[in-house]
Amino acid sequence: MKQNIDNNNEKFTGAEIFVKCLEAEGIELVFGYPGGAVLHIYDELHKQNEVSHILVRHEQGAVHAAEGFAKSSNKPGVVLVTSGPGATNSITGIADAYMDSVPIVVFTGQVRTALIGNDAFQEVDTVGITRPCVKHNFMITNVKDMASTIKKAFYVATSGRPGPVVVDIPKDITEDKCEFNYPKSVSMRSYNPHIEINSDSIIEAAEKILSCEKPVIYAGGGVINSNASEELTNFAKYLNFPVTNTLMGLGCFPGDDPQFIQMLGMHGSYEANMAMHDCDLLIAVGARFDDRITGRLDKFSPDATVIHIDVDPSSISKNIRAHIPIHGDVKDAINKLSQEIIGKKLRPKNIDNWWNQINEWRKKDSFKYNQEGDIIKPQFVVDSLYNVTNGDAFITSDVGQHQMWAAQLYKFNKPKRWINSGGLGTMGFGLPSAMGTQFANPDSLVCCVTGEASIQMCIQELSTCLQYGLPIKIINLNNRYMGMVRQWQEFFYEKRYAMSYMDALPDFVKLAESFGHVGYKVEKSSDVEPALREAINQKNRLVFLDFITDQNENVFPMIATGAAHNKMILS
């Protein structure tokens, strides 16, 4: 890390110190939107070239962009917004980052300290409002605390189980002056993310791994956050165990590997969910047994011994009791397990019978669809995107049916390629997170798989994309319905489609053009692949592809809320 310590008693304003802290922290990019309370900071940003500022069109977009940036790189995302509405507009993004453990630091302006609590113009209790959806938050009440607080904010956001940290800065603090001294390290007695893994639990887990007959490795986003994909893959390959991924874990194990039994959960594959139900050993790695994964808790993996590896102890035995809890960093835990098993050249039992069973389940081909005739099946678009991009693009998505099809059909072979909103399920995430992803990976292809409902929730960011020349490809699966809402209404509300129909849709081609981009409408299945190729060939332009898709298509398989894993609706 670059250190920037001025020790010559020179005094700087809080705003100057703020910018110096970002520089010292190695931050190159800030997503934000100016306003009264942060004008001193913006003035300082304007005077220098080390830290670039990306102007979004809505603060929610800034946070999602920072999330996309962080999720597709190994760096924290940084956001700067003003007080009051600037802060409240960023809340959805902050809550999203909290649910998906994304390391971001959000700086919010605040009214002057003398005005706090007086219902001042653009005042809101940001620390109070954000408290339930941050890993931690701070308010700086003295300029002397600016540098140490910013250092702590980045440390807390990026260590342990990552998450969003909010730093609220009253305007007068950015005027006050003091010396600048950026701390080299942080030590907080109340926060220690470095955990020594209990070796007894490693030995116990290794014994179970070597003696089981029907194992499943259930790997989640924690593997990606821990940068442990390679370790997990090697470990699973050595054992020849089946691997399933959560929505957040996709890419942490190669999606085209024969040991991969696809995503599990509500819209997971038949083989993954059946294997979860019937297994005798469940190895949960960096996953948190969320309700979309487990379905009915008392019918979940009834015969399994559960090994649960997680950096957050409160995730262990929260929903499903772990027989062998392993509290610690995922990478560290897998390395220790590997030493215990691979290091000692021990071999697990033969599990051919289990693989035979899984391969039987696989024959259901539960993600299959039928592309016949001219009407475009949404799955066909994702499939074609996979083929045209050789499976090597960064894919962001919004929330709904298109998200599930992208997760099911785009086979992610690398971590940090699949950027989506899993925990909070935030429609509007796709486009701004694609911007952050493109900034973090300027030479890579970034595609946003979205739907006509989701894309409208942060559509204003098309303007940001033009300003910074972001050549994102928007894959709009336009079925003129809020597809997932419609699907639930079809199944569970006797086809009463309350408010799920999108009447008065814009002409997306003209809309894209009005923002200065290229737009194409694609209505025939035979045009899908050519359109995708054409879009990708336009290397320097944002291309909005509006695919008019089959309105009646549903996401299968599906486990209804509260049903067991072996009770899947297949079609």
Partner 1 sequence: MRHIISVLLENESGALSRVAGLFSARSFNIESLSVATSEDLTASRMTIVTSGDDAVIEQIVKQLDKLVDVIEVSEITSNEHIEREIVFVRINNSEIDKKIMDKLESYEFLKIHNSKSNDLIIECVDSPENINQFVSTIKKIAVKIVRSGAVGINSN
Query: 3-state SS string over 8-20?
Result: CCCEEEHHHHHHH
- Of 29, 156, 419, 482, the residue at the interface with partner 1 (CB under 8 A) is 156
Q: Is 312 in the site for partner 1 (CB under 8 A)?
A: yes
Q: Is 191 in the site for partner 1 (CB under 8 A)?
A: yes
Q: How far apart are CA 141 and CA 147, in angstroms?
A: 12
**114 C-beta neighbours (distance < 10 Å), count:** 10
**488 C-beta neighbours (distance < 10 Å), count:** 16
Nearer to partner 1, 312 or 534 (CB): 312
Q: Is 495 in the site for partner 1 (CB under 8 A)?
A: no
| Contacts (Cβ under 8 Å, ≥6 apart) of 212 | 280, 281, 305, 348, 349, 351
| Phi (first) and psi of residue 162, to 5 degrees | -65, 165
Q: Could you tell me the two tokens for 431?
A: 């486009």
- Of 4, 52, 240, 317, the residue at the interface with partner 1 (CB under 8 A) is 317
Q: Could you tell me the two tokens for 85?
A: 């509405």
Distant-in-sequence contacts of 192-196, Cβ < 8 A, 24+ apart: 193/159, 193/160, 193/311, 195/311, 195/327, 195/328, 195/329, 196/328
Nearer to partner 1, 305 or 315 (CB): 315
Nearer to partner 1, 322 or 435 (CB): 322
User: Could you tell me the smallest distance in angstroms from the CB atom of residue 290 to partner 1?
Assistant: 15
- Of 20, 57, 64, 135, the residue at the interface with partner 1 (CB under 8 A) is 135
Cβ atoms of 437 and 465 closer than 8 Å = no
Q: Is 148 in the site for partner 1 (CB under 8 A)?
A: no
Beta strand extents in 119-225 (DSSP E only): 136-139, 164-170, 177-179, 215-219
Q: Which one of 5-13, 184-192, 367-375, 420-428 is the stretch in contact with partner 1 (CB under 8 A)?
A: 184-192
Q: Which one of 37-45, 76-84, 130-138, 214-222 is the stretch in contact with partner 1 (CB under 8 A)?
A: 130-138
- Using CB under 8 A as the binding rule, the residues of this chain from 394 to 433 that contact partner 1 are none
User: Could you tell me the smallest distance in angstroms from the CB atom of residue 165 to partner 1?
Assistant: 9
SS3 (DSSP) at 285? strand
Binding residues for partner 1, how many (CB under 8 A)?
18
Give the C-alpha distances (Å, rounded to integers) separating 102 from 69, 76, 180, 419: 10, 8, 29, 11
Q: How far apart are CA 212 and CA 351, in angstroms?
A: 8
Q: Is 197 in the site for partner 1 (CB under 8 A)?
A: no
- Of 1, 55, 74, 128, the residue at the interface with partner 1 (CB under 8 A) is 128
Strands 52-55 and 77-81, how do they pair?
A: unpaired
Catalytic residues, by residue number, are: 59, 121-122, 171, 484
Q: Could you tell me the two tokens for 93?
A: 């993004």
Q: Is 136 in the site for partner 1 (CB under 8 A)?
A: yes
The DSSP output letter for 442 is T
Nearer to partner 1, 317 or 357 (CB): 317
Q: Is 194 in the site for partner 1 (CB under 8 A)?
A: no
Q: Is 296 in the site for partner 1 (CB under 8 A)?
A: no
Q: Is 562 in the site for partner 1 (CB under 8 A)?
A: no
Q: Is 127 in the site for partner 1 (CB under 8 A)?
A: yes
Nearer to partner 1, 290 or 546 (CB): 290
Nearer to partner 1, 326 or 381 (CB): 326
Q: Which one of 20-28, 127-135, 300-308, 388-396 is the stretch in contact with partner 1 (CB under 8 A)?
A: 127-135
Q: Is 131 in the site for partner 1 (CB under 8 A)?
A: yes
User: Could you tell me the smallest distance in angstroms from the CB atom of residue 87 to partner 1?
Assistant: 16
Task: Work out the angle at residue 409's Cα, subtended by the Cα atoms of residues 457 and 405, and round it to the nearest 5 degrees.
Answer: 35
Nearer to partner 1, 147 or 522 (CB): 147
Q: Could you tell me the two tokens for 250?
A: 């996709």
Q: Is 169 in the site for partner 1 (CB under 8 A)?
A: no
Q: Is 533 in the site for partner 1 (CB under 8 A)?
A: no
Q: Is 139 in the site for partner 1 (CB under 8 A)?
A: yes
- Of 144, 208, 296, 318, the residue at the interface with partner 1 (CB under 8 A) is 318
Q: Is 188 in the site for partner 1 (CB under 8 A)?
A: yes
Q: Using N-to-C axis directions, what is the helix angle for 229-239 and 330-341, rounded to 10°?
A: 30
Q: Which one of 182-190, 380-388, 455-463, 493-501 is the stretch in contact with partner 1 (CB under 8 A)?
A: 182-190
SS3 (DSSP) at 448? strand
Cβ atoms of 553 and 378 closer than 8 Å = yes
Q: Is 297 in the site for partner 1 (CB under 8 A)?
A: no
| Phi (first) and psi of residue 341, to 5 degrees | -110, -60
Q: Which of 544, 105, 559, 11 is nearest to 300 (CA)?
A: 559
Count CA atoms closer than 13 A to 129's CA, side-chain side: 18
User: Could you tell me the smallest distance in angstroms from the CB atom of residue 486 to partner 1?
Assistant: 32
Q: Could you tell me the two tokens for 249?
A: 């874990």
Q: Which one of 4-12, 63-71, 80-88, 307-315 is the stretch in contact with partner 1 (CB under 8 A)?
A: 307-315
Nearer to partner 1, 317 or 441 (CB): 317
Q: Is 132 in the site for partner 1 (CB under 8 A)?
A: yes
Strands 177-179 and 11-13, how do they pair?
A: antiparallel
Query: Which positions lie near partner 1, rule CB under 8 A?
Result: 127-128, 131-132, 135-136, 139, 156, 188-191, 312-314, 317-318, 321
